């Protein structure tokens, strides 16, 4: 048997056994109590599934939203798992997760699955999920503009070192001057215009929160209408407060580009859509701010090639993840292959975006499988050119892709 025949299992073994740093999630440190979601009902009311379920239900939106989480979970379960085959990526995810936990929804009904969950002790369950997903570190999304979350931070929780903080600032950049009002209420003497005083108070706000939560990077999601430079508050806030802040703290700025919020508000959190971004704005940012580092993911499939080409031009740009609507097997494969072929290993192929702890299991099982396939194909081509990779080299590459490259980019 040539080494090429064993290539796929070798790569798979290494990809599966290499721990990952999950660089963007919506999970919380367990010390935040109820903010860390887990269990079958939270998996079923995941907004990815809610939007799919509404396509199969006649139920009025209000009726759905007026019921309890348990009832909502039942609606979703019936619509997507009982009355139809659960072929979508988000549906299959629930099944992958349950199976990894030793549950069989073909034999156990929702009631039995709920009873199993009710017996789990949170601390042990968290350890088990992280171990099954082989996730070493989880980056949270921490917003000072979220009242519930802010209250937890004020209480100075004892932190779990496996959960890292990342500062989310969408309202600051996208809802100025309404956000100025909130900053004022919190004791920052900001006006609405770009005066010296306002800029320095915004920077004080960013610095305070970065220190308070131990944030590792700062991040925003941007609509397709985002332009830079432009005669907008977003531009001056970026240029005079956010980017200087990131430079001062030696941290990257993450931009998640291409989300149109509330395309259908009746769907609540499930109602956001996608639009093609103007990556000319990103090009200008990277060129105009060589001392800043930009972590970027794009929601539109149409932006993926351009993003990769830009990353070839600007080493202060690090593409990451297959975000949200691109987190489907076909698109992960396409985007990861494109990135490998144009960037080598200098990118971070995936983040989970998990909102429910248990989802780490399926998000990483599914993504690792595709990453292993993509790498195997590339290594096989290399072998065809006479370059056979060793296990050590595969290990080195996979470590780089699953968090090592991100850490270096962050300057850690
Ligand atoms: O993927 C998601 O769960 C979305 O709802 C968004 O939260 C997105 O990931 C974001 O961070 O804005
Ligand atoms: Zn997210």
Instruction: Find where tokens 């701010």 sit.
Output: 289
What's the average model confidence in pLDDT over 367-392? 98
Task: Spell out the domain ranges in the chain.
Answer: 25-29+140-319
Is residue 257 very low, low, confident or very high in pLDDT (cuts 50, 70, 90)? very high
Which residues form ligand 1's pocket by a CB distance below 6 Å? 26, 141, 221, 256, 324, 353, 355
Ligand nearest to the CA of 47: 1
Q: Which residue's alpha carbon is at the smallest distance from atom 4 of ligand 1?
A: 324
Does domain 25-29+140-319 bear CATH number 3.20.20.140? Answer: yes
User: CA 96: distance to chain centroid?
Assistant: 19
294-298 vs 273-274, strand pairing mode: unpaired
Alpha carbon of 24 to ligand 2 centroid (Å): 6
Alpha carbon of 324 to ligand 1 centroid (Å): 7
167 pLDDT above the threshold of 90: yes
Tens digits of per-residue pLDDT, 274-317?
Answer: 999 999 999 999 999 999 999 999 999 999 999 999 999 999 99
Alpha carbon of 326 to ligand 2 centroid (Å): 12
Whether the Cβ atoms of residue 169 and residue 255 lie closer than 8 Å to each other: no
Give the pLDDT of residue 266: 98
Give the pLDDT of residue 31: 95
In percent, the amount of the chain with pLDDT more than 90 equals: 98
Tens digits of per-residue pLDDT, 176-202?
Answer: 999 999 999 999 999 999 999 999 999
Give the pLDDT of residue 3: 75
Q: What is the dihedral of CA 233, 239, 244, 246, to 10 degrees?
A: 80
Whether the Cβ atoms of residue 248 and residue 240 lie closer than 8 Å to each other: no
In percent, the amount of the chain with pLDDT more than 70 equals: 100
135-139 vs 20-22, strand pairing mode: parallel
Residue 222 corresponds to which tokens in the numbers above? 């941007």
Alpha carbon of 254 to ligand 2 centroid (Å): 11
Closest CA to 282 of 292, 274, 273: 292
- Best of 22, 24, 26, 219 to mutate for ligand 1, by most ligand atoms within 8 A of CB? 26
Alpha carbon of 136 to ligand 2 centroid (Å): 19
Alpha carbon of 353 to ligand 2 centroid (Å): 5
Q: Which residue's alpha carbon is at the smallest distance from atom 5 of ligand 1?
A: 269
**How far apart are the C-alpha atoms of 179 and 125, rounded to whole Å?**
38
Give the pLDDT of residue 238: 98
* Ligand 1 atom, smallest distance to 259 CA: 12
* Ligand 1 atom, smallest distance to 327 CA: 1
Ligand nearest to the CA of 359: 1
- Best of 27, 324, 325 to mutate for ligand 1, by most ligand atoms within 8 A of CB? 324
347 pLDDT above the threshold of 60: yes
Residue 202 corresponds to which tokens in the numbers above? 């915004």
Residue 392 corresponds to which tokens in the numbers above? 């050590």
Give the pLDDT of residue 78: 97
């Amino acid at each position: 048997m040539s080494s090429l025949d064993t290539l796929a299992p070798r790569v798979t073994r290494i990809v599966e056994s290499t721990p990952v740093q999950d660089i963007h999630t919506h999970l919380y440190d367990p010390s935040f109590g109820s903010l860390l979601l887990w269990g079958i009902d939270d998996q079923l009311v995941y907004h990815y599934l809610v939007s799919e379920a509404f396509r199969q239900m006649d139920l009025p939106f209000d009726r759905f939203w007026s019921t309890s989480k348990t009832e909502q979970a039942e609606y979703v379960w019936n619509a997507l798992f009982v009355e139809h085959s659960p072929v979508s990526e988000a549906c299959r995810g629930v099944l992958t997760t349950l199976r990894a936990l030793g549950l069989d929804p073909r034999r156990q009904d929702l009631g039995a699955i709920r009873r199993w969950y009710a017996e789990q002790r949170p601390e042990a369950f968290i350890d088990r999920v992280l171990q099954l997903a082989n996730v070493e570190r989880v980056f949270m999304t921490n917003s000072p503009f979220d009242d519930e979350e802010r209250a937890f931070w004020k209480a100075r929780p004892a932190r779990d070192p496996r959960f890292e903080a990342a500062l989310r600032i969408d309202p600051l950049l996208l809802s100025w001057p309404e956000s100025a009002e909130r900053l004022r209420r919190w004791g920052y003497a900001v006006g609405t215009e770009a005066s010296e005083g306002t800029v320095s108070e915004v920077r004080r706000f960013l610095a305070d929160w970065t220190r308070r939560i131990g944030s590792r990077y700062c991040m925003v999601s941007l609509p397709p209408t985002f332009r830079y430079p432009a005669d907008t508050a977003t531009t001056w806030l970026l240029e005079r407060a956010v980017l200087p802040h990131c430079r001062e703290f030696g941290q990257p700025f993450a931009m998640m580009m291409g989300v149109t919020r509330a395309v259908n508000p009746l769907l609540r959190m499930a109602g956001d859509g996608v639009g093609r971004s103007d990556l000319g704005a990103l090009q200008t940012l990277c060129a105009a701010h060589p001392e800043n580092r930009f972590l970027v993911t794009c929601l539109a499939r149409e932006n993926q090639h351009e993003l990769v080409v830009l990353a070839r031009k600007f080493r202060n740009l690090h593409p990451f993840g297959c975000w949200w609507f691109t987190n489907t097997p076909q698109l992960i494969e396409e985007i990861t292959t494109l990135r490998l072929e144009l960037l080598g290993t200098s990118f971070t192929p995936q983040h989970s975006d998990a909102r429910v702890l248990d989802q780490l299991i399926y998000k990483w099982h599914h993504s690792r499988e595709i990453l292993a396939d993509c790498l195997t194909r590339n290594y096989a081509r290399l072998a065809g050119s006479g370059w056979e990779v060793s296990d050590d080299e595969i290990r080195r590459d996979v470590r780089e892709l699953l968090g090592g490259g991100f850490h270096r980019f962050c300057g850690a």
